């Protein structure tokens, strides 16, 4: 079985048929509530959809999961089917022993076994999948028995607590200045530092610490939200986060003046060079971007052209995918409306920020000396910057 994902933005580029237009297909997907990222399962030989599995993909889409989560859940079934294929079985005819074998494969025998938290998520998806098939009368019963109180028998037996690690302020300074900022442990500039945008990475760390927000909340912030927009007074910033918040629950975010100042330094010294170099490339992709012409700071709204249509959005209701393609006409041409930008001129994604953090960790360990604060065995995550304690 092959796995694909819905990506409506590719229709206009690659759909080549006289039967139906790209616009009609896009409208149909929207009408049926099929979101980008919805998994589509295809027969390997015929490349035709596998109805029960595609129905489950549609069921996930109606749950209004974000694109990343839809893809992750879709891959769970894809991995299970690959494993069962080696056992001359498949997801629709799997037995309890097949699923137990898959659990052992994922948690013990594969080259890099997954931990309890990952398997807990996967077992939840599998339990939901087989419950869906039973509810739709596609299967008469679940292949795995339910444990006490209806609990999924394949779920981990040990319930893990919250994985929270705290940093002292000295550890944070070392991460920010040495790992991300390119300094030596003695606070001198390192002549061998090859980092590309240390002020951007330091600003991200400062905002994460100062605001106490999660990665998706601070990494997707827009210039008007953080107060770095013409006509705004500067200083501390306060805005509402909703679409990029956990569970999409709206709440107010406060970013202290020092953290905004760190972002302002990035905007003055590094960001202009990045957007200048990327402007020509963004001009070529303008038809695929949300080009903002009006920013209502007081009302918290933006208005512009998206897919050839004038659209208006409340900034707090803009998800990460929309924020990434939102641009405005700046000094050098089209420029991202998000605070943080990478080489292409748009907002860095999760993998990019992960790379910044991993390279910082490697550098921190390579330069560690007797003055270095104690480093943990595992890399810090961006989320850990929400938990700073005094020395």
Is 253 buried (19+), middle (13-18) or exposed (0-12) by CB count in 10 A? buried
Residue 31: pLDDT band with limits 50, 70, 90: confident
For residue 90, count other CB atoms closer than 10 A to its CB.
15
253 or 156, higher pLDDT: 253
Cβ within 8 Å of residue 112, ≥6 positions away: none
Question: Under a CB-based contact definition with an 8 Å cutoff, are residues 220 and 320 in contact?
Answer: yes
Residue 159: pLDDT over 60: no
Fill in the DSSP letter of residue 374: P
* Residues 44, 3: Cα–Cα separation, whole Å: 9
Average pLDDT over residues 188-200: 86
363 or 64, higher pLDDT: 363
Dump pLDDT digits (tens) for 337-360.
999 999 999 999 999 999 999 999
* Residues 161, 320: Cα–Cα separation, whole Å: 28
Residue carrying the six token digits 């999760």: 350
* pTM over the 0.95 mark: no
Instruction: Concatenate the DSSP letters of all residues of 186-200 into one string.
Output: TSPBPTT---S-HHH
* Residues 328, 341: Cα–Cα separation, whole Å: 13
């Amino acid at each position: 079985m092959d796995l694909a994902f819905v990506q409506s933005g590719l229709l206009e580029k690659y759909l080549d048929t006289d039967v139906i237009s790209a616009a009609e297909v896009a409208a149909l997907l929207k009408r049926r509530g099929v979101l980008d990222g919805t998994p589509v399962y295809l027969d390997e030989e015929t490349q035709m959809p596998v109805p029960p599995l595609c129905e489950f993909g549609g069921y996930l889409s109606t749950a209004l999961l974000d694109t990343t989560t839809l893809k992750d859940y879709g891959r769970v079934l894809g991995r299970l089917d690959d494993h069962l294929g080696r056992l001359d079985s498949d997801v629709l005819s799997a037995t309890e022993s097949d699923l137990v074998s898959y659990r052992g494969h994922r948690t013990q025998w594969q080259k890099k076994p997954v931990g309890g938290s990952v398997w807990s998520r996967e077992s939840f998806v599998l339990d939901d999948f087989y419950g869906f098939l039973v509810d739709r009368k596609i299967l008469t019963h679940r292949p795995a028995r339910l444990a006490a109180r209806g609990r999924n028998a394949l779920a981990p037996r040990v319930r893990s607590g919250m994985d929270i690690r705290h940093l002292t302020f000295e550890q944070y300074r070392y991460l920010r200045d040495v790992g991300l900022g390119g300094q030596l442990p003695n606070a001198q500039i390192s002549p061998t530092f090859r980092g590309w945008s240390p002020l951007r990475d330091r600003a991200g760390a400062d905002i994460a610490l100062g605001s106490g927000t999660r990665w998706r909340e601070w990494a997707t912030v827009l210039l008007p939200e953080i107060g770095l927009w013409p006509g705004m007074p500067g200083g501390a910033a306060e805005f509402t986060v909703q679409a990029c918040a956990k569970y999409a629950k709206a709440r107010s975010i406060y970013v202290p003046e020092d953290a905004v100042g760190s972002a302002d330094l990035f905007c003055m010294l590094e960001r202009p060079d990045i957007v200048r170099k990327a402007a020509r490339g963004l001009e070529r992709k303008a038809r695929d971007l949300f080009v903002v012409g009006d920013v209502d700071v007081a009302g918290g709204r933006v208005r512009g052209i998206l897919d050839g249509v004038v659209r208006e959005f409340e900034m707090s209701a803009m998800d990460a995918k929309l924020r990434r393609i939102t641009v405005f006409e700046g000094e050098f041409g089209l420029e991202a409306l998000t605070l943080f930008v990478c080489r292409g001129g748009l907002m860095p994604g999760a993998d990019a920020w992960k790379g910044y953090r991993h390279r910082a960790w490697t550098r921190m360990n390579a330069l560690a000396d007797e003055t270095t604060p104690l480093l943990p065995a595992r890399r810090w995550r961006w989320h850990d910057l929400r938990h700073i304690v005094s020395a």
